[in-house]
Amino acid sequence: MEKETAKQRVEALKKELNQYNYEYHVLDKPSVSDYEYDVKMKELKDLEEEYPDLVTPDSPSQRVGGEPLDAFQKVQHNIPMLSLGNAFNEQDLRDFDRRVREGTDEKEISYVCELKIDGLAISLRYIDGIFERGATRGDGRTGEDITRNLKTVRSIPLRISEEQTIEVRGEAFMPVKSFRALNEAKEAESKDVFANPRNAAAGSLRQLDPKIAAQRNLDIFVYSVGEWEAGAIASHSERLAYLKQLGFKVNPETKTCENIDEVIEYIQYWTEHRPELSYEIDGIVIKVDQIAVQEELGFTAKSPRWAIAYKFPAEEAITTLREIELSVGRTGAVTPTAILDPVQLAGTTVQRASLHNEDLIREKDIRIGDTVVIKKAGDIIPEVVRVDVKRRSGHEEPFHMPTHCPECGSELVRLEEEVALRCINPNCPAHLREGLIHFVSRNAMNIDGLGEKVIKQLFEHDLVQTIADLYKLEREELLKLERMGERSVSNLLDAIETSRENSLERLLFGLGIRYVGSKAAQTLAEQFKHMDHLMHADLEDLIAIQDIGEKVADSIVRYFEKPQVKSLIQELKGLGLNMEYKGLTAEDIDTESPFSGKTVVLTGKLEQYSRSDAKKQIAALGGKVTTSVSKNTDILVAGEDAGSKYDKAQELGVTIWDEQQMIDALSE
């Protein structure tokens, strides 16, 4: 190929491949197959190898990483990369809002809320539209040149859509999926693992060998501008839109809020939903939207007055383990629980934490009196993570599990292939009590008013021993109990009466059959339709059902073989409990409805439907309701105050309905 022809082909390939990269890594909408991409990349590399002088900084071939560096060069930030002041609660946010309003004559102040990515702050500089240099934040004024490592991050454009000089700031991060894969690979090689995705991202970008960074699957969100030549843009939100137009990846969850109350709602939403993200965040950044107001408010020595970072409550805390308490669950498993000195964790006071089992206590060498680090697993259940052995005084006491049940005194056993010790006495009071608590729970029989405290009262007063006894309770007996007046008793008896009509899957789950969760109970009820059919099913019948494995099937067969279980079912029938499945079957689903085969997301406040009723009706018409918007979502039903899901649906081109359109479709 002649050089001039090769040059034209190289330019065409660079343009195509950069566009494919943008579609795949920024828009999440690939337009070509991996094979087609690889073929064109090989063609480009072959031409560049033949004509080395055709290699340019914006060539996609430069993303693979070059030769290792001896050291990173220092970089001066012409505009300092300042840190932000922190807010830890609602009052801090309202104080920030007050200071903003006191510092300007502008009456209408709006804010832009951005997820605070837990990664590494970086600066990207473009000359005439081509990526020229990337640097770490460093101390805010001096960073390190990590250009060659940043070129391996495929969501960073090597050429932007306009030939201008601009410096942007963003956060490089490692997605959770990539982090787990990296640590698994390190464990397989007996190497030290990274503590968290933030450390992994920072460590990857500070590798002297760019080829290592290229293997780490890093990503980036751009969130602000340092130096640039563009004309005046009046708001931060418009700047973000402009950056997106240039080809940068901007977080789709960013939202403009009209007042501080909307900011607080946004924070509350993401405090609850952050586990759903594919990357880690450690807070929310709030910025005044109007650029003129930002300039009017100015800066302190360390941070801008027009922005603040709300930090999520600490996910780990240090405290002292005072004792280990044992409890017996409904399956007989004896579970140790750490009793702690009270400590604040993720916005709540924690005094108890899970220790799971004896093997874990031994593995972590947890002793009574130890200083321990606790965290909330999934931000819900506190657990002991590790012991601070450096703080040991020598007076800490090793813990040993008992040989007999703390409730009934029966000898504990360890079943084959299990780590838990179990009490297998069927008459153990803890078995019976915990089984009753499970039976009345929301996902089981859903008997409102029969909480854990009431169950314990009934048990202590010898009013119930089995679940059948719940349906024999009399008003006079209940009125004698503490805090049970006429109204409470009437409501409770009404709830018990209503539960007799529950569909079969609720009863199955409530029985507490080992390994049968709510999903398996639903599957079994749909398949067998009646309790009698399930009771007579053999192992082969059960294994033949999708999602019912041999372990679950064996447990079901063994359960219904027990004489006391057969007697219980007959007693429940005599007490008027429904034994049939009342839910939808495949034949009931309308395959010709507007929802048939569609994935639907509900967001915002619905006026004429509760969220649960809407879900049921959509499911009855063949639709599947999920909680998050993705490229697989077909319809977003947006009620009042629809938030970030609405914005994401718009960005992905998802069909958006208001509530009336949903009602019309349900009516059809």
Output b/e per residue, 317-331; b: 16+ Cβ within 10 A. Answer: bebebeebebebbbb
* Residues forming a β-bridge with 658: 638
- What's the distance, Cα to Cα, between the start and end of the chain in Å? 63
Q: What is the separation of C-alpha 507 from the centre of its chain, rounded to a whole number of angstroms?
A: 30
Q: Does the predicted model carry a pTM greater than 0.85?
A: no
Q: What per-residue confidence (pLDDT) applies to 309?
A: 93
Please name which of 108, 120, 3 lies closest in space to residue 50, comparing C-alpha atoms: 3
Query: Are residues 598 and 661 both part of a single domain?
Result: yes
Report if residue 102 sits inside a domain.
yes
pLDDT digits (tens, 9 = 90+) for 310-369: 988 767 789 999 999 999 988 888 999 999 999 887 656 889 998 888 888 998 999 999
Report if residue 241 sits inside a domain.
yes
Report if residue 646 sits inside a domain.
yes
Taking a C-beta distance cutoff of 8 angstroms, is the pair 635, 657 a contact?
Answer: yes
Average pLDDT, the chain: 87
- Among 472, 499, 526, give the residue marking a domain's end: 499
pLDDT digits (tens, 9 = 90+) for 141-157: 888 899 989 998 989 99
Q: Is residue 395 scored above 70 in pLDDT?
A: yes
pLDDT digits (tens, 9 = 90+) for 226-248: 888 766 788 999 999 999 999 99
Report if residue 77 sits inside a domain.
no
Q: Report how far apart, in Å, the C-alpha atoms of 552 and of each of 282, 308, 334 are.
A: 40, 52, 22
Q: What per-residue confidence (pLDDT) applies to 69?
A: 57
Q: In sequence order, which residues have a C-beta less than 8 Å from that of residue 628 and are 6 or more positions away? A: 276, 601, 645
Q: In sequence order, which residues have a C-beta less than 8 Å from that of residue 495 and are 6 or more positions away? A: 447, 448, 449, 450
Give Dmax (Cα) for the chain: 101
Q: Residue 44's domain is classified under what CATH number?
A: 1.10.287.610
Residue 28 belongs to domain spanning: 3-64
631 is catalytic: no
How many domains does the structure of the chain reveal?
6
Query: Are residues 113 and 55 both part of a single domain?
Result: no
Label residue 229 exposed, middle or buried (CB < 10 Å: 0-12, 13-18, 19+).
exposed
Query: Are residues 225 and 304 both part of a single domain?
Result: yes
Output b/e per residue, 406-423; b: 16+ Cβ within 10 A. Answer: ebeebebeeeeeeebbbb
| DSSP-derived secondary structure for 533-569 | HHHT--HHHHHTSTT--HHHHHHHHHHHHSHHHHHHH
Query: Are residues 143 and 229 both part of a single domain?
Result: yes
Query: Are residues 112 and 173 both part of a single domain?
Result: yes
Label residue 380 exposed, middle or buried (CB < 10 Å: 0-12, 13-18, 19+).
exposed
Query: Are residues 107 and 135 both part of a single domain?
Result: yes
Report if residue 99 sits inside a domain.
yes
Q: How far apart are CA 330 and CA 428, in angstroms?
A: 10
Q: What per-residue confidence (pLDDT) applies to 379?
A: 44
Report if residue 71 sits inside a domain.
no
Query: Are residues 274 and 154 both part of a single domain?
Result: yes
Q: Is residue 378 scored above 50 in pLDDT?
A: no
- Best-predicted range by mean pLDDT (71-80, 179-188, 193-202, 218-227): 218-227
Please name which of 597, 593, 602 lies closest in space to residue 639, comparing C-alpha atoms: 602
| The pair of three-digit structure tokens given for residue 178, joined into one six-digit string | 């990539």
H or E element in which residue 327 lies? strand 316-328
Taking a C-beta distance cutoff of 8 angstroms, is the pair 381, 388 a contact?
Answer: no
Q: Residue 326's domain is classified under what CATH number?
A: 2.40.50.140
Report if residue 359 sits inside a domain.
yes
| The pair of three-digit structure tokens given for residue 660, joined into one six-digit string | 């009336």
Query: Are residues 233 and 286 both part of a single domain?
Result: yes
Query: Are residues 233 and 173 both part of a single domain?
Result: yes
- Among 553, 574, 595, give the residue marking a domain's end: 574
Q: How far apart are CA 419 and CA 333, in angstroms?
A: 10
Report if residue 370 sits inside a domain.
yes
Mean pLDDT for the stretch of residues 402-414: 91
| The pair of three-digit structure tokens given for residue 310, joined into one six-digit string | 């709300």
Q: What per-residue confidence (pLDDT) applies to 577?
A: 96
Q: In sequence order, which residues have a C-beta less than 8 Å from that of residue 5 and are 6 or more positions away? A: none
pLDDT digits (tens, 9 = 90+) for 102-155: 999 888 899 999 999 988 999 999 999 999 999 998 878 888 899 989 998 989
Q: What per-residue confidence (pLDDT) applies to 608?
A: 80
Identified catalytic residue from 40, 116, 255, 645? 116
Structure-model confidence comparison of residues 381 and 275, the more confident one: 275
Q: Residue 482's domain is classified under what CATH number?
A: 1.10.150.20
User: pLDDT band at residue 380, thresholds of 50, 70 and 90?
Assistant: low
Give all strands (DSSP E) within 623-666, no chain letters.
Answer: 624-626, 635-638, 655-658
pLDDT digits (tens, 9 = 90+) for 265-281: 999 999 888 888 989 89
pLDDT digits (tens, 9 = 90+) for 472-486: 999 999 999 888 889
Query: Are residues 183 and 115 both part of a single domain?
Result: yes
| DSSP-derived secondary structure for 341-393 | EEEEETTEEEEEEE---HHHHHHTT-EET-EEEEEEETTTEEEEEEE-GGG--
Query: Are residues 485 and 598 both part of a single domain?
Result: no
H or E element in which residue 112 lies? strand 111-117
Q: What per-residue confidence (pLDDT) applies to 63?
A: 66
What values do phi and psi take at 428, rounded to 5? Answer: -60, 130
- Among 443, 469, 499, give the residue marking a domain's end: 499
Query: Are residues 115 and 90 both part of a single domain?
Result: yes
